[in-house]
Amino acid sequence: MRFGVLGPVQVDGVEVAAPRQRALLAMLVLDAGRIVGHDQLIGGLYTEPPAGAANALQSQVSRLRRTVPGLVIEHHPAGYRLVATAAEVDHLRCVELLDAGRASEALALWRGPALADVEAPFVQVARQNLTEVLITCALSGGTEKVHRDLLSEHPLREDLRAALMLSLHRAGRQSEALEVFARGRELLADELGVDPSPVLSAAHLEVLRAVSPHRGVPAQLTSFVGRDEDLRRVAKWLRESRLVTLVGPGGTGKTRLAVEVAHREAGEVAFVDLSATTDVVRALLDGIGVREAGLHTGGPSAQERLRAALAVREVVLVVDNCEHVVDEAARVLAGILGACPDVRVLATSREPLGITGETLSPVTALDSEAAVRLFLDRAQAVKPGFHADVAVIAEVCRRLDGIALAVELAAARVRSLPLAEIADRLDDRFRLLSKGSRTAAPRHRTLHAVVEWSWDLLTDAERDLAARFTVFSGGANLAAVTAVCESAVDTLESLADKSLVEVVDDRYRMLDTIRAFCASHAPDLRERHARWFLRLAQDAEPHLRAHEQITWLERLSADHDNLVAAVGWATAHDHGLALELVAALATYYWCRGLRTEAASLADAVLRACGETPPAGREQEYALCLLIAWPVAAGDQSARIRQADALLATLDAPPRYPIMTMMWGMALGAPEDDSQVWHRRNRLLNDEPWSAALALVGDGLVARMGGDPETGKAMLRDGARAFTRVGDRWGAALAFNQLGEIALVDGEHADALENIERARVLLAELGATEDTAEAVTGRAQAKIAAGDLAGAREDFELALTLARRSGALVVQAGAHLGLAELARVSGDYVVAAAECDQAWDLTPGGWYGPDEMRCHIARERGRVAASAGDLVAARAHFEDALRRAAGQRNRITETAVRAELAALDG
C-alpha cells in the first residue's frame, strides 16, 4: 500500500472520509514502522480527551481497519504501529530522495500543503515539520513558482527569498530579482529591525555581478589611454561631492573620461547624452528609464515626474554635452540635487554649470607621453603591426596641441597615408590657421583645424555626403541616409572607415564637433528630411496597431530625435507638413507613452497655424486639437468643441483610426444618443482594429452607463479582437476593464486572471506606469479574495514601480489600496493617513486625477463610517458622488448612493 501526507491524506490514492479516522491514520503514517504511544495518539486526536479515551482510541483503530481494507495496524502494549516501508510512505520517500541529491523528484511527491485535509491538535507541529522538508526540497530543486508561492507564505524566510532571486537570475530576469531583494530588505528592517543575512546578501551580490546597473553607459571598443590620474581624481571627487563637472574645450576627452568613471562605479549609473536635444528633462527621463506611459492622459509635469522618480533612488547621473543647453541643464540639475539626496551628478561641459557646490575638474590636453601612447594605440588598431619613429609621432601630437580627438583622427589616417605625409599636411594646415584670431575660442583654434584637415582628405563625393549627413539629429540608418542624402552606400562606408561617422549597430552618427564643421558646407535638406520621416511615420502607423507593434515602436524610437526635428522645422516653415507629421505620429506617441511631448508639439503646431485649419488639412488639425488638450495650459473646452465640430463634418472614417478613440476620450461618455455620438460611431473604419476599438468603447460606455453585463460581453469580444489584431495596449485596456467588472461581481479568480493578462501585455510595451497600475488592480482582486498579505505585497510593489517612474497618480492608487487594507484591519488612523497621502499625490482638474479623487473621497467616507463618524462619512460620500456624477460614471455613482443610504439605515 502507498500512504500520503504530502497533501490530503491518502491510501493508494484514495482519501479517508471520516475526519477523526483520517487524523489517526495521518499520525500513524508520520511514524510508519514505529510504535506510536497511546497517550500520544489520544493527545493528538482530542483537544479534551473523552472519558474512556483508551477505549475510544481502540474503537477508532477498528473503524479505520474496516474503512481501509488491507491496512495493517499492529497493537502493542505501548501503542499502535502502522506496518509500512519507507518506500510506501511519501514523506519518508521524500527524505530519502533529498538525501540522495534528487530534490526535484522529492518535490514532485508534494500534492499540496501537508496534511491539507486534517484538523486535529497534532497537526500544527506536524505540518510545520513537513513544511521544513518542503522548503528544503524547494531550495535544492524548486522552480520560480514554487519559490514565489512559499515566499508568499513565509515572507521573512531569507533562504527562500535568495532562492527566488537566483531562479529569476537564471531566467535572465535580473531586475525582478533585485526588486525581490529590495522588498525583502525593507521587510526585514520594518518587521525585525535587521539587515539581510549572509545568504540573502550573497544572492544579491551574485545578481549584481551578472547585471550591470549602468543604464546607457556606452561600451568602448578602444582602450582608455593617458588619463589614469584624471580618472582617480574624478572618481575620488565624485565620492566626496554630489556634483562634479568636467570642463574643457571640445575634443579633449571629457566624454571618454566620464564613461570610464561611470564604468567603475559600483552602484546604479544612468548615462544621458544631451548633444542631440534641447529638452533636458525628457532626455533625463529617458536616461533613467522612465516613460510617460499611462492609461490616463495628462498629469504632473515632466519635471515633477523626474524628481519623483529620482527621489527614492541612489544613482549617479552622467550628463554629457551640457554646453549648448547650459542654463537649462543647470536649472534642472540644481532642482534634482536639491530634492533627491541620494543622487550624484557627473557632468561634461565646455563651461561650468554655475551651481552651488559644484566641483570643477578641468580636462586639459594630453601630455607628450600620454599623447604618443594614444596615437600608437589607435594607429595599431586600424593598421595592425604599425610602428614608427616615436620622435616623429611626438612631434605630430605636439603640433596637434595634445587634443585627444585630433590625435585619434590623425592616427586613423595611417591606414591610407604614411606618417611623414600626415606630418607634412599638418604643417601646412597649422601654418595657415596660426594666422587667425588669437581671441577665437579654443575649439576654433584647435579642433576646427583638425576637422578641416580631415575634411581636405576626403574625396568630393565624401565631402558632399558628410555635409548632407548633418541634417540628421542623433544619427540615422542606412535607408534614411541614402534616401535623404541621395548617397551611394560605398561612400557612406568610406566615411565610416575614415572616422567621419561612427557605426553603432545598424545606425550611423557623426561626432558633434565634426558635424558642426560639416554643417557649414551643407545644402538645406531639412524639407527633404521632414518629408522622408513623414513617410516613415505613415508607413509605420498601421503596424503600430498590429502584431509587429513592438518592432515598429523600436524603429520609430530609434529615430525619435529626427522625428521631433522634422516636426520642429515644419512648424516654422510648412504648417501643412507639420500637421501631417503630428497626425501620422499620434499612434506612435500614444503607444510609447510620450503624451506630454506629443501634446507640446501639437500645441506648437496649432499656435503656428492659428485658429483656422489650412484648407485640406482639417482632419489633421482636428487630431492636433485632440492631442494637445489634456496638458495644454488654460481652458481647452473651446478647442474640444472645435475638434468636435470639425470631425462632425466628416462623412468617412479618418485616415488614422486612433483619432476616433481620442475623440471619445476628449468628449467622455455620451449624455444621450445624440446625432454627434452616432456620427462619431459611423466614423469607425471597418478594418479589424477599428472594429476592436468599437467593441471596447461601447463596452466602456455600457459599463459606465450601468449595464455591466452588456459591457462585459462587449469588452470580452473587444479583448479577443485586439488580441487577434496584435495591439497590446488595446487588449490590456479591455482585460483591465473585465477585471474590474469581475471584481464588482465577486468573481475573484476571473478578476485576477484578466488583470494579470493586462499586466503582462503592458510589461511587453515597457509601460512602467501602466504596469504599476495593473499591479494595483491585482492587489484589489486579492483583497476581494481574502488574500490580504498578497494584496499588501502587490500594493508595495506597485508603489515601488510608480515611484521609479514618477507616476504620482498611480502612487496615489497604491496608497489608497493600503488605506483599504488598514481599514479592513481596523486601523482607522493609518487608513486616514494613507488617504491623505493619496490625496496629496493627486493634482485635481484633469480626467485621471479627478477620477482618483472620487475614489479617495469614497474611501475616506468608508473609513469615517467604520470609525463611527457618520457626519464626516456623509460629507466624504457626497464629495465622491459629486465627482462621480461629473465623470458620468454611473457605476461609481450608484455605489456611492448605496453607501449614503446605508448611513441612514
Q: Each residue of 348-391: pLDDT tens digit?
A: 987 889 999 999 998 887 888 888 998 898 888 888 889 899 99
In terms of Cα–Cα distance, which of 279, 276, 281, 291 is closest to 333? 281
State the pairing for strand pair 343-349/243-247.
Answer: parallel
Task: Give the start-end residues of each E strand in 327-432.
Answer: 343-349, 359-362
SS3 268: strand
Residue 216 pLDDT: 77
**Which residues, 6 or more positions from 686, have their beta carbon under 8 angstroms from its beta carbon?**
653
Residue 425 pLDDT: 75
36's enclosing H/E stretch is strand 35-37
In terms of Cα–Cα distance, which of 25, 31, 77, 70 is closest to 54? 77
Q: What is d(CA 820, CA 827) in angstroms, rounded to the nearest whole number? A: 10
User: Residues 31, 36, 40, 45: what is their CA dihedral angle, to the nearest 10 degrees?
Assistant: 70
SS3 343: strand
Helices and strands, number each (H, E), in the chain = 45, 15
State the pairing for strand pair 268-273/243-247.
Answer: unpaired
In terms of Cα–Cα distance, which of 594, 595, 601 is closest to 566? 601
Question: pTM for the complete prediction?
Answer: 0.58
Q: Are 606 and 624 in contact (CB under 8 A)?
A: yes
How does DSSP classify residue 361?
E
Q: What is d(CA 251, CA 187) in angstroms, rounded to the nearest whole number? A: 49
Reading the block at residue 862, the C-alpha cell is 468608508
Q: Amino acid letter at 786? A: G
SS3 604: helix
Q: What is d(CA 718, CA 731) in angstroms, rounded to the nearest whole number? A: 7
**Alpha-helical runs (H) found in 192-253:** 198-210, 228-240
Q: What is d(CA 632, CA 862) in angstroms, rounded to the nearest whole number? A: 35
Q: Are 525 and 569 in contact (CB under 8 A)?
A: no
Q: What is d(CA 672, CA 480) in angstroms, rounded to the nearest whole number? A: 49
Q: Are 135 and 157 in contact (CB under 8 A)?
A: yes
Task: Give the start-end residues of each E strand in 342-414.
Answer: 343-349, 359-362
Reading the block at residue 563, the C-alpha cell is 522625428
In terms of Cα–Cα distance, which of 774, 752, 775, 852 is closest to 809? 852
State the pairing for strand pair 268-273/315-320.
Answer: parallel
Residue 864 pLDDT: 93
Q: Are 238 and 258 in contact (CB under 8 A)?
A: no
Q: Are 569 and 526 in contact (CB under 8 A)?
A: yes
33: left (phi over 0), alpha (psi -120 to 50) or beta: left
State the pairing for strand pair 73-76/14-15.
Answer: unpaired
Residue 250 pLDDT: 66
φ/ψ of 418, rounded to 5, equals -65, 155
**Which residues, 6 or more positions from 68, have their beta carbon under 8 angstroms from its beta carbon?**
11, 16, 25
784's enclosing H/E stretch is helix 768-784
Give the rounded distance of the alpha carbon of 711 from its chain centre: 30
**Which residues, 6 or more positions from 542, have their beta carbon under 8 angstroms from its beta carbon?**
none
Give the relative orientation of helices 847-866 and 828-840 as an angle to the nearest 10 degrees: 170
Residue 446 pLDDT: 44
Give the residues of the chain that fall short of pLDDT 50. 293-298, 428-446, 675-676, 844-849
SS3 864: helix
pLDDT tens digits along 278-320: 899 989 988 887 655 443 444 567 888 888 778 877 889 999 9
Write a three-state SS string for 684-737.
CCCCHHHHHHHHHHHHHHHHHCCCHHHHHHHHHHHHHHHHHHCCHHHHHHHHHH
